Amino acid sequence: MPHFTRSAALLLGVGLSLGVLSPALAQTKTPKYSNEFLNIGVGGRALGMGKVQASLAEDATAGYWNPAGLLGQKHKYDAVLMHSELFSGIVKNDYAAFSMPLDEKSAIGISLIRLGVDDIADTRDLVNEYGYVQYDRIRYFSVADYALLLSYAYKVANIEGLQVGANAKVIYRNVGEFANAWGFGVDAGVQYNRGNWRLGLMARDITTTFNAWSVDADKFKGSAITNDPIPKSSTEITLPRLVLGVGRTVKLPGQFTALAAVDLEATTDGERNTLISSSAVSIDPRAGLEVGYNSLVFLRGGIGNFQQIKTFTGQDEWKAQPSLGVGVALSGLRLDMALSRLAVEKLGQRSQANSIIVSLGYGFK
């Protein structure tokens, strides 16, 4: 019985994944929520603050949030590792990043992201030609999305506090041996720091990002799992996404400090369920707060992902997703934890999952 329960859960996971994949592969027009795995977020600090980072990122995670922030890191070398699990551990989300300066005016970084479901049971051949269940015919595969980001940041001469950056990213997505895709895109970012104020602008997929899907029709046998036609090889396009952020640091009594920030995220792939939405642009506001003591211990909170949900009574109510986090920094070592209610968007529908995110950062030399 436990084997059947585990197999059923994994088969449900692949069914959902292939169900999402099929429409994307079957069309050449721009789909909504393309490459959405790149918008879940990275880093315990960022996710504890509600993903408010466009103006704040200043360590190796800046390669993801805003590459211009790579120039703000406090150590010569900086590295970050993160692991989180969604949907009772079925979905694994892993991230690693490293950054370093080239000179006083430039810096580089590299980031690797993986979101995947592993050990999915393929039970299409479970029953043999004689009608008997044969367990040794079960095969296992993975559905995973990968992204490699190569980042560069440059400090603008003659304008104090102004820095710019860009990402070149390579995307690889695969559904076992059935289908895979390669994608390429470019991000660009700007940060401006003056006094206690911080401003940031991040433009994701500024050139649009293209994923070229290749499907092995002989191995897919789509109707056996999803009852849908076998998708065809095609191109998926991700339209630009803009994030505008502003933050301010305030000194509190004693050795306490507070950092408050707001981000406005604008998507251009059609009307979404956000606080401000239209057929051209949808805007999702987010807010975050970090209170620190002696630059050693930090308490964080954030709120975002405002959306209108229909209740059981048929009325529409606005809901938001809160997040909490804590962090400790000592001798270059940073340990950050966040409790976040993540939203995964697929075909216009949002499912939610509570997740504990742990990230470890280390700045040295």
d(CA 328, CA 337) in angstroms, rounded, equals 9
Share of the chain above pLDDT 90, in %: 53
Identify which of 145, 146, 153 has the alpha carbon closest to the alpha carbon of residue 63: 153
Position 351 scores a pLDDT of 53
**CATH code of the domain in which 26 resides:** 2.40.160.40
Number of domains in the chain: 1
Q: CB–CB of 124/86 below 8 Å? A: no
Sign of CA dihedral 303, 116, 85, 60: negative
For 269-312, what is each residue's pLDDT tens digit?
Answer: 888 888 888 888 999 999 999 999 999 999 999 999 888 887 77
pLDDT confidence tier of residue 205, bands split at 50, 70 and 90: very high
d(CA 327, CA 81) in angstroms, rounded, equals 14
Determine phi and psi for 83, rounding to 5 degrees: -140, 135
Position 273 scores a pLDDT of 86
For 13-24, what is each residue's pLDDT tens digit?
Answer: 333 343 334 334
For 153-199, what is each residue's pLDDT tens digit?
Answer: 999 988 889 999 999 999 999 988 888 999 999 999 999 999 999 99
More confident call, 34 vs 255: 255
Is 90 exceeded by the pLDDT of residue 226?
no
Q: What mean pLDDT value characterizes the chain?
A: 84
Determine phi and psi for 63, rounding to 5 degrees: -60, -30
Q: Would you call 42 helix, strand, or coil by DSSP?
A: coil
**For residue 281, what are the domain limits?**
2-364
